Amino acid sequence: MKMVGRIFLLFLSILVTVVIAGKAPPPTFTETGKALVEKLCEKSEDKAFCISSLTSRPESETANAPKLGVIALSIASTNASDTSFYIKSKLKQRNLEPALEDTLDDCSKNYLDSVAQLDDSLAALLANAYIDVDIWLNTAISDGEACEDALSERAGNDAELARRNTNFLKLCKDALLINTILTP
């Protein structure tokens, strides 16, 4: 029985060593600032939008990759908060069409959730919990897509909200792209 236990421990220690040794370290970048932004945005669905949004913050000029991840999440979170405020102000208008009111109600709930999820993403990123960032960002993206569906499937459409929602999705996807690159 002791021999079986020792063989098991030996096998387990070899397995752990292989898993740890086989885990690739996160990529390192020699670039900072705009050069790094351009490199990180290469695989974005909208490269120009990605570069423009990340370089809109002055702190991006000297930022390294993890700092750009924080910037990307911060921009997405600000966008979600602003969009949530926009929706709330629209809902305060009188005589809204019922279909538009339903769409705004749904999107309002989605954006309230998204703001919380992006705050959780930022906290997770600061703790180097990249998998949690991935989960929270994907959930925020799902909320944005649910709003997009409501906007496209119902008679009540708001062009400004549709534009804001499209930008929100791009910002979240760019933050997710950067997080994926940072994930070891």
Q: What pLDDT is attached to residue 156?
A: 72
* pTM score, whole prediction: 0.84
Beta carbons within 8 Å of 93's beta carbon, 6+ residues apart: none
- Residue 134 CB burial class (10 angstroms; 0-12, 13-18, ≥19): middle
Kindly report the average pLDDT of the chain as a whole number: 87
Instruction: Tell me: pLDDT of 42 over 90.
Output: yes
Give helix then strand counts, H and E, for the chain: 7, 0
Instruction: Tell me: pLDDT of 12 over 90.
Output: no
Mean pLDDT (whole number) for 69-95:
96
Give the domain 65-182 fold. Butyryl-CoA Dehydrogenase, subunit A; domain 3 (1.20.140)
Tokens of 40: 């990180």
List the chain domain ranges. Answer: 65-182
C-alpha dist (Å) from residue 123 to 4, 71, 156: 45, 13, 36
Cα(154)–Cα(147) distance, integer angstroms: 11
The band of 113, judged by pLDDT with boundaries at 50, 70 and 90, is: very high
Q: What pLDDT is attached to residue 14?
A: 54
Q: Are 60 and 68 in contact (CB under 8 A)?
A: yes
Q: Which of 15-19, 32-36, 123-127 has the lowest mean pLDDT?
A: 15-19
Instruction: Tell me: pLDDT of 10 over 70.
Output: no
Between 35 and 155, the more confident residue is 35
Taking residue 128's Cβ as centre, other Cβ atoms within 10 Å add up to: 13
Instruction: Tell me: pLDDT of 26 over 90.
Output: no
Mean pLDDT (whole number) for 14-40:
67
Name the CA dihedral angle for 131, 132, 138, 143, rounded to a multiple of 10 degrees: 180
Q: Which of 21-25, 141-145, 175-179 has the lowest mean pLDDT?
A: 21-25
